[in-house]
Structure 1
């Protein structure tokens, strides 16, 4: 069967990835089937370096807290802080401990320093963005940082009479941060403050602050930097997204977890669209956040399905969005051994080299009407590739074996 699919299989490099696409997309997304494996992240780094240097991509966005990501962006663009501090404070989900993520940040800063020496303009500098919301599967942050950041910006540049509230009122309504971040609220909606009177008032004020920001855009775009305005917009959509998420954490209906998963990816999509508005960007996250199909997960109360960030962004950008999934053969240190030969991963595992770029729609055509079996993951941390997704994926990067980092 390998002979039948050989025309869809290419050597691993940026040129092969771009060869899958009719034009250079504004957002080029690379997925991963599992988190925390430096082998996959090293591969990402290699591919993204080539795409930056050969194709002119100028933002790298990863599945990390969008607010914390500002710390990383400040470092790679201007050298603010130290690499150690940035890795500690600039990433969520524990990603800052990854040697591959550290190397990515170090290289991005080095690229910009070299850019300065070469005389390239600031618009050519490489940027970093986190595009996840400030939340984990077990908890969500207080909206304090986002709300106060937006209010501070507007207080500086807009007539005080137009402000819908004061900093003191926001502080009083927010209260202590720990009442928002209580991890017990994920399993027990009654522990959430998201539908309290204070939270309801904050949602209205956040909406009014964002409306004021939008209404004052002609003034703000001429009196402040575009960078500061974009950051204020990030504060605004993050505050609204967090307050909406907390509201539904307090929900007791059967649709609660479906809503929460959908709202997280909706926040991701808004951040990705903002990144795309700035220029060509590379994106990295779990396959399920970037695919064009619905995502699904088995949770404690049963299965949930929702539209991924990739599906939402693709609906907005069309061909300006491209998605390349990553699939793999083995992660033996996690109990993921040689894939069964009747699965897609098993078919690709028979190929001789260690990694490939594969034209997914072409592979789907070569396989015909009967796709391979869907591989069953023996480990909860690894999500297999669904062969039914081949026609709607632009490509696959296949990695034969993932050794222990």
Structure 2
């Protein structure tokens, strides 16, 4: 078996990854099967450095809050702030504590030092301001969008005043109520105020679109892009809160689908300004439908990658990461009849695998699915081989 697939295996580097593709994609998506492992983030960092230095990539996006990510982007492009504080505040989900994430931001700032704006690399969070336990208040996004428009268009065109927004938003605790994720009745997302905010947010986004020529000319493309991000985030959060308050059986499916949509829209906007490397969980970036269980409830949805791929076609590429062992999590050597087991028999500690050629080499009988003893690791689904452009395989994750 190993001899049959050896010609599908390449060294881990940017040239090998791009060599699997017919052309350089606008979005190169690198997935990971588990979170919190710095060794995987170090591989991501190494790949991004090569893409920047050898292939002209200018943006990296990670699975982190898109609004918080503006803090990191400001730091890497202009040096605003102190590294430790920027990483802590600008990378969500608690991942600012990662040494590899800190090193990524440090390297990006050092790379940009002294370079003209056109040559600087950029950082972005691709996720919404969401956590597993709930969602942020729409205040930051809504008030920032309103403020941008108020500064640059006639006040008669605005659908409301800043005071009206503040009154309708109320206390942020209404939106971040921790019990609302499991109890729809505790969410403010379908209150009369939320409904009015939804209409106002749509009007503000429409005004932003209508005034695009004037706004780009009088501010800058970057300022307009940021305002568009505020608009996407405000409307996305209001929809998310609406469905948090919904008691129908569709509630959880709609929530995971809305998160995927927010991520996809952010990713497509980033792709408009040049090639981007995005790094997130495999389930967020794969082309196939994603699935999970929340307790005894099965959920399926189209992920950000699936939506982005549908829009971009051949300009979207997905490379999954698969692992042999995570012994400190109780994940030992994989069964030999799984994708991971077949790759584990290779001599390489890490490599890039041509997923479609591997699928052809393995014939009509697909490998068996691997079952993980640890909930935090999602094995590679053998049914996804033909839908992936490549696999980064790491034989053994080191003890952190």
TM-score range, shorter chain: over 0.9
State the Cα distance separating 1:121 from its structure 2 match. Answer: 3.4
Whether the aligned pair in 2 keeps the contact of 1:88 and 1:96 (CA below 8 Å) is: yes
State the Cα distance separating 1:300 from its structure 2 match. Answer: 2.2
Alignment of structure 1 residues 340-379 onto 2, 5 Å = 340-379=335-374
Look up the match of 1:19: 19
What do residues 330-373 of structure 1 show as CA deviations (whole Å, max 9, x unaligned)? Answer: 00010101101111101100101200100000000000000110
Determine the C-alpha separation between the residues in 1 that align with 2:366 and 2:156. 64
Q: Normalising by structure 2, what TM-score? A: 0.99
Secondary structure in 1 matching 2:272: helix
> 1:92 aligned to 2:92?
yes
What do residues 198-221 of structure 1 show as CA deviations (whole Å, max 9, x unaligned)? Answer: 000000000000001101111111
What do residues 144-190 of structure 1 show as CA deviations (whole Å, max 9, x unaligned)? Answer: 00000000000000000000001001001000111101111011011
Look up the match of 1:71: 71
Look up the match of 1:277: 272
* Structure 2 counterpart of 1:304, from 293, 299, 302: 299
Runs of at least 5 residues in structure 2 that lack an aligned partner in the other structure: none
Determine the C-alpha separation between the residues in 1 that align with 2:344 and 2:59. 33
Q: Normalising by structure 1, what TM-score? A: 0.98
Runs of at least 5 residues in structure 1 that lack an aligned partner in the other structure: none
Determine the C-alpha separation between the residues in 1 that align with 2:275 and 2:116. 16
Secondary structure in 2 matching 1:36: coil
Look up the match of 2:140: 145
> 1:329 aligned to 2:324?
yes
Look up the match of 2:248: 253
Look up the match of 1:201: 196
Q: Structure 1 pair 301/255, CA: closer, same or farther in 2 (3 Å)?
A: farther
Look up the match of 2:395: 400
RMSD: 0.7
Determine the C-alpha separation between the residues in 2 that align with 1:400 and 1:46. 17
Look up the match of 1:164: 159
Runs of 4+ in structure 1 deviating by more than 2 angstroms, as ranges, are none
Whether the aligned pair in 2 keeps the contact of 1:192 and 1:249 (CA below 8 Å) is: yes
> 1:217 aligned to 2:212?
yes
> 1:186 aligned to 2:158?
no
* Structure 2 counterpart of 1:173, from 159, 168, 171: 168
Look up the match of 1:391: 386
